[in-house]
Structure 1
């Protein structure tokens, strides 16, 4: 037996050993609008809404089939907002496209579904079931889940993820909320490691080509409170990119303050893939200092063959 008063060789070796870090690759996409792009390899796939154009059963079936064939140990999906395919609205879609998965919001579809599917009404429950019954997809509707990667060949990591389709109401869109309802972001649990929303937070990956910040301030404050390691959003196509945000936690008189925002320059301009490496090998790892990454990815139908970026963490 070893004398507990004397440190053993094995104990000393254990105490001086550096902690082991496992790399987990997140592949993030949003706003694919019926486009079944070729995805890069990864451990976790996140889709931040806008799977389809009009949310019909046939469109969602194709999208779910695409997701189920994708080779990832975990696949996390949310829905988002929508507007009807009227010519005057289509002009707006070019600047502020929204989610067309309207059948995933039953209350909205009951009131406004005829604007979208007047000749072929859909059954929201059947459409929702495509996602909720999938054995390989984690569908989050303003809810959270604990994800554990247990494959022997994978990173064997676990994390808590919260996902929500809601966005500030602006016209006839599904999953919209008014300013008086912005307290819904209080539902994000404090232990969330990853937050997936269709709307971006205010002033982070939310600027359209009209130079207007379209994100939600209440969501930004919620992210300050929760401080997830990764926040993924969609909705504003032209705001694609990533930012590392460091929250100021030491200023009691000024809540929700940010110390710094480091903007990622998209290396994928003119290319099909982009990589944000947050490991030590990448040179800019996330630290346990209240910082996190706000990541926005849009793979729109016009990007023929485009692939979603990966995040290594």
Structure 2
């Protein structure tokens, strides 16, 4: 059984509250913030941002940091902190604690979580989310990575992920600067073309705000050599069937920026996910939580964020193979992280026939970039309605 779940998506609020940015948070089930909660990572900014997030009436709030949230990257801050806070150095652990101490907040640091919604009157749905703060940029900012590390970094996303939340956008999707240049990550885009999640939420590129519905081709790249040698143009030709750029109300409109993926207003998203019986999504839990599933184990190496998905930590719980660099081939049919031919067949069938479309959303709230000529302008949140499996129904049926 599927039921509508409403996601309210924001990113790049840079220390502004909804009232300061000129909008009221829409109602929903899940709030997603895709990074840059602050302008320079100060505890004062974080406290101001977390106040409105924690007080917002959502069953769960999923957060990733961004490059401006420098205190949430302790390794970076230890080296560069004085260039941001020369008068008063912040305590990164105190900043991280501030974000993670609320029971309704899930801070994802290049890791996965299985979310079960249990609020009375809510959808009681389940989904798997992967969140990462990493992005590429010029200059010294938090959570950066080199192009040479990009494939390894993004190959750690588990195959059965339903929702991907990254600060950076994928290349060629919701990532254009005013001059038309695409500045997203090509390695992330390649990984999305293999995983094919329902949603990919991002920010970082303020002018890229909006959404695209990416319909994938049925064929997949089969070998590691294919992935390493294909040009960007060849990869896009092989992976994408077509892209539909969505239309949202203009910046000053009072209308809600709604993306309906349920078929009520538009064509339903062509993505059934991995929520068939026996996959593990039917294990009931007493509350929404980050929890381990039991069907598959991850082959992911330790991430650059210092998170080891193989450890028995509640928040590090991918339940399907990732496109791990530790496997001899990222192919869905040949990876040694998949142990049985039956499992291989299920994954292959799902990705070819059930996961045909992904909606990519850039939810940047601050609409302009430094030096903000003409003054800062702000976008409203983007609301996404998506049908997801009801975990109680799956458990009983």
TM-score normalised by structure 2 residue count? 0.67
Q: 1:52 aligns with which of 28, 35, 38?
A: 38
Alignment partners' CA distance in 1, 2:196 and 2:203: 19
Residue aligning to 2:3 = 22
Structure 1 residue runs without a partner (length 5+): 1-19, 82-99
How far is the alpha carbon of 1:65 from its aligned partner?
1.1
Q: 2:133 aligns with which of 143, 157, 165?
A: 165
Residue aligning to 1:218 = 187
Residue aligning to 1:276 = 259
How far is the alpha carbon of 1:300 from its aligned partner?
1.4
Find out whether 1:102 has 2:70 as its counterpart: yes
- CA RMSD of the aligned region, Å? 1.6
Alignment partners' CA distance in 2, 1:180 and 1:250: 26
How far is the alpha carbon of 1:132 from its aligned partner?
1.8
Greater radius of gyration (CA): 1
TM-score normalised by structure 1 residue count? 0.84
Q: 1:311 aligns with which of 384, 390, 395?
A: 384
Alignment partners' CA distance in 2, 1:150 and 1:129: 25
- Write out aligned runs for 1:175-254 (5 A): 175-182=143-150, 183-250=152-219
Alignment partners' CA distance in 2, 1:66 and 1:277: 26
- Write out aligned runs for 1:86-97 (5 A): none
Q: 1:133 aligns with which of 101, 104, 109?
A: 101
- Write out aligned runs for 1:24-39 (5 A): 24-37=5-18, 38-39=24-25
The count of aligned residue pairs is: 275
Q: Following superposition, which runs of at least 4 residues in structure 1 exceed 6 angstroms of deviation? A: none
Alignment partners' CA distance in 2, 1:231 and 1:143: 15
Alignment partners' CA distance in 2, 1:270 and 1:59: 26
Residue aligning to 1:10 = none
Bigger relative contact order, structure 1 or 2 (CA pairs below 8 A, ≥6 apart): 2
Q: 2:4 aligns to what SS in structure 1?
A: coil
Residue aligning to 1:11 = none
Residue aligning to 2:313 = none
Q: 1:61 aligns with which of 42, 47, 50?
A: 47
The answer as to whether partners of 1:27 and 1:309 remain within 8 angstroms in 2 is yes
Find out whether 1:266 has 2:248 as its counterpart: yes
Alignment partners' CA distance in 2, 1:276 and 1:146: 23
